[in-house]
Chain A
Amino acid sequence: MPSKITLGPITRAQNSCSVEVSIENGAVVDARCGVDFFRGFELILKGRDPRDAGYLSQRICGICSAAHGTAAAMALEDAAQIRPPRNGALLRNLILGADFMQDHFRHFYIYGLPDYVEGPDMGPFAPGYTKGFRLSKKKNDLLMKHYQQALDIARLNHEMVTLLAGKAPHNQGLLAGGCTVPPAADILADFQSKLKKVRAFIKDVMMTDMMILAETYSDYYHIGTRAADFLEFGLFTHPENNQKRYFPSGALIHGQNKEVNSNLIAEHLRNSWYDEEAGAQHPAQGKTIPNREKSGAYSWVKAPRYDGKSVEGGPLARLWIKGDYQRGVSVMDRNMARVLETEKIADLMVQWLAELEPGKPVFKSFKMPSKAEGIGLTGAMRGPLGHWLKIEKGRIAHYQIITPTAWNFSPRDASGQLGPVEEALIGTTIEDEKEPVEIGRVIRSFDICSACASH
C-alpha cells in the first residue's frame, strides 16, 4: 500500500498550488500537480478594447508581467498587421530582458535557495525542514549573504524596467506599436550603469553560487529527470524581423528539433475544473467555462499538449534548442540553464543598448482593425507563452492564453498522459516522508508560477 503526501501550499511558487505524491519503497510512484486558485482573465478580457489586453493581462502575474505585455502586444500587432519601429523593438527587448533577469534572480535566490541553504532562525525562514542541508557552515553563510545582495540586484532590474516603462511590476511603457520612452542619454546612462552592476553580480557571484550548489548536490543531476521533449516559441525579436529570435523557437520531440507549428497545440480539460464541450481544443477555439464542482478534476490548470505530447519549456529548453547546453534533463540542469541564460541575456542587453538610435521613433500608431485575428508567441521566463486574440466590431471577441507553467505544471490530459512536472517527480527518492525536501526541489527547478498557470 503506497503512502501519500499532500503538500499544499507549495510556497515560493508565486501563489498557491499543491502536489499529491504516492510513495512506494521510498520512491515517488505517482504524482498529481494542481493549482488551487482561478481568476478568469480570458472571460474578463472579452468585450473590452483590444488595446487594454496588454495592461490587463500583465496582471496575470507580478513576476513576469513584461512577458504578458509582450505577448499581448505581439498578438495585437499581428491582428493590426504592424511592426514596432526599430527602436521600439530594441526597447521592448531591454524591458523584457530586465524583467527576465529580475525573475531569474528572485527565483534562484529567494524562491529556490531555501531548498538547499539553511536560512537564519527567523521568519520567513523558520520554521523549515531540519534535514537534507549539506553545505558547510561557511558556504551556507556565504550563500545567505548573497541572498541578501540578490534582493538588491532583483530590485535594480525592476528599476531598469521603471526607467524605460514607468513602473514595475505591470509596466505601462510597453505597448502594441512599440514603446513610449525615447532613448535619451540620461536614461540610457542610468540603465547602463545598473546593467553593469547586474552583470558583475551574475559573473562574480551567481555563477559561483550555482557551481557550489551543483557540486554539493550533484546527485540532483539524476533527480527530476524526464525525456528531452521541449517546446519554445522563440525569445527576443530581432528588430528587423519579428519572426527571427535571439533564442530560437523549436519543438524538440523524440530527439528531433522541428519548426513550431502552432496549429498542433491543443488544450485538454479532462482533469481540470472546466466544462468540456468538445475534446481537446486549439486555443483559437478553446473555451474557459469554470466548474469547481466537476468531479475527478484536480487543477485549475488546463493541460496543453503539442502534437499530443507533454512538453517542457524554460531556460533549459531554450538553451537546448539553441544548441548551447545539452548535458541532461534534471533538477540541476534546469537550475544551471537558468543561471547561464541570465548571463546570456545580460550580455545581449549590452548589445541592444548600443544599437538604440536616439531621435528615431519608438512607437508606431495604428488603426484598430474592427475584425481580425492575431497570435502573440514569445518566450517567457518559464517557457513558451502564447496569446490568441480575435477582434470583432473593434472589441475582443475571443482571448485565450497558454502560459509556460500551464505546459510544465499541467495535470493529466484526456489520455492520462502526465504533465512534465508530474513526470519529473516520478522515481524521486524520498529520504524522510516527514520532511520531503526532495519534492520541492524537483518542482521549483521548473520555476513554477501558479499565477500564470491558471490565470
Chain B
Amino acid sequence: MFKVKKAGKQSRPKSPLLWLGTNTCGGDALSFMNSLDPGYWDVLTDLIDFRYFYLNMTAEGDMATGILDDAMVRWPGKYILVVEGTVPVKSNGLYSVVGWRNGEPLTALQAVQELGAKARHVIAVGTCASFGGPFAASPNPTGSLPVQSVLDNRVINVPGCPVNPDWMMGTLVHLIRFGEPKLDSFGRPLLFYKETIHNQCQRRHYFDNSIFAKQPGEPWCLYKVGCKGPDTFADCPNRQWSGEHLSWPVKANAPCIGCVNPEFPDGNAPFFEHLSDVYLPGTRVTANRVGAITAAATALGIGAHLTGTILTGRLASTYKKGFSGTKKGLKTIGKLMQGLGKKR
C-alpha cells in the first residue's frame, strides 16, 4: 500500500535481524540499548542489519508488517529472529497482536511461528520470552507461553528481567562471529548463566559467618530479607549493571529476586521472604565454620532445613543440570515448561 524508500546497499553485509515485541514491557530492548561498548549505534552500523525493530523502527502500519513478509522471502534461513515477550495462546493468540496484515490482526503466535520456521537462529530475549516470566505468572490470564513452547526449532534463551545489556550483546556477537554459543539444558548461554549468584557474591563471607541484614538497605548478606542468589544462575555480581557495570541489586542493598530463573516470579515470591526450600550448590564449609553456622543459623531462626542442607552439603545434581529451583517453583512452571528441555 505504501511507497517504500529502498533500504540499504551496505558496503559489507550485516546479519539481517528481526526484533519482534510480543507481550512485553519493552525493557529488554531498552536494556540492550544501554550497552556501552559496543553501543547501539555501532551495532546498527557495523554488526546488524536491523530490518525490524518494533521499538525504534521508522516504518509503521502495513509498511512495518510488510518487512516481516519480505524477510521470509528474501532471507529464508538467513535472518536472526529475536522475540521479546511471551506468546499468549488464549483466544487464538489475540491477547497479543503485533500488527495488521491485509486488514486482519497478526497475532504474536502467528508471527513467531511463521518467522521462526524460516529463521537461521531464534533468540528469546528476557525472562518472559525464555520462560514465561511475570505475565505467565499465576493465574496466567492470557495463556502466555515461552517462545520455545510454540516453536520446533532450537531457541537460545537469554533471560533476565530485563536482560543485562552484555548478555544480549554477547550472545548476538557470539552467534555472528563464532556461531551458536554453548547452552545449558535450559537453552541459556553458559557464558553468562553458568554459576550461581551466591557463589560469586561479594557478601558471601557474611552469609558464611551468619551476618545478615534485617531489612533492605543494610550492607550485609540479604538472605534473610529474601535474596534468591543461592538459587539463581547469572553473573550479576561480577558483571554488574548497566553498560558501565556500576552496581547490581545486592550491591544496592536489595535482595536478588532471581529474575533470570525459569520459575520467576512465582517460584521466587514473596520477594522479601527468605527461601524456604533451597539447595545450596557449591557450599564449602570447614567443620569449625559449620559449627558457627549451625549455632548462629538456629539462633537466627533460618530454619532446620537450611542448616541441614549446609551440613549434608547436598550439592547438586541439580547444579550439574544447570538448574536449581525450589520445588514450589518447579511445580508452578511445570506445565509451561513442558517441551522446553526435551528439544535439546
A residues adjacent to B (C-beta < 8 A): 5-12, 14-16, 18, 36-41, 43-44, 48-49, 51-52, 55-56, 59-63, 65, 106, 110-111, 114, 119, 121-130, 148, 151-152, 154-155, 158-159, 162-173, 175, 177-182, 190, 290, 292-293, 362-363, 365, 434-435, 440, 451
Contacts and interface: CB of A to CB of B under 8 A. Distances in A.
Majority DSSP secondary structure for residues of A touching B: loop
Given A11-B57, A16-B97, A166 B249 contact: yes
The 7 closest A-B pairs by CB, nearest first: A62-B27, A40-B141, A166-B252, A49-B270, A128-B58, A36-B97, A126-B7
A129 B53 CA distance: 16
Contact of A128 (B5, B33, B254): B5
Contacts of B7: 121-123, 126-127
A15 B24 contact: yes
Interface string B90-124: 11001111111001010010000000000000000
B188 interface: no
Contacts of A177: 216
A11 B64 contact: yes
A249 to B, nearest CB: 26
Contacts of B52: 123-124
B162 A170 contact: yes
A16 B254 contact: no
A119 B253 CA distance: 42
A124 B27 contact: no
A273 to B, nearest CB: 9
A123 B57 contact: yes
Interface stretch (B38-46, B171-179, B308-316, B323-331): B38-46
Interface of B: 1-10, 21-31, 33-34, 36, 39-41, 44-45, 49-61, 63-65, 67, 90-91, 94-100, 103, 105, 108, 133-135, 137-139, 141-142, 144, 161-162, 214-217, 241-244, 246-255, 257, 259, 265, 269-273
Given A62-B30, A127-B7, A165 B252 contact: yes
A62 B26 contact: yes
Contacts of A52: 265, 269-272
Contacts of B269: 48-49, 52
Given A18-B100, A292-B91, A181 B252 contact: yes
A182 B139 CA distance: 37
A364 B208 CA distance: 27
Given A8-B61, A52-B270, A181 B249 contact: no
A290 B271 CA distance: 27
Given A124-B58, A181-B252, 8 more contacts: A8-B65, A49-B269, A110-B56, A122-B50, A128-B5, A167-B247, A169-B27, A175-B216
Given A127-B67, A172-B252, A173-B252, A62 B54 contact: no
24 contacts: A9-B100, A10-B61, A37-B95, A38-B141, A38-B142, A44-B137, A62-B27, A65-B25, A65-B27, A122-B8, A123-B50, A127-B5, A130-B3, A130-B5, A152-B39, A154-B33, A155-B36, A158-B243, A159-B34, A168-B34, A169-B27, A173-B252, A173-B253, A290-B142
A121 B28 contact: no
B33 A155 contact: yes
B298 to A, nearest CB: 24
Given A9-B61, A15-B21, A49-B270, A126 B34 contact: no
A195 B94 CA distance: 43
A90 to B, nearest CB: 15
Contact of A127 (B54, B58, B215): B58
A123 to B, nearest CB: 4
Contacts of A166: 241, 247-252, 254
Contacts of B100: 6, 8-9, 18
Contact of B265 (A56, A127, A190, A435): A56
Contacts of B57: 11-12, 123-125
Contacts of B138: 44
Contacts of B26: 14-15, 61-63, 451
Nearest to B93: A292
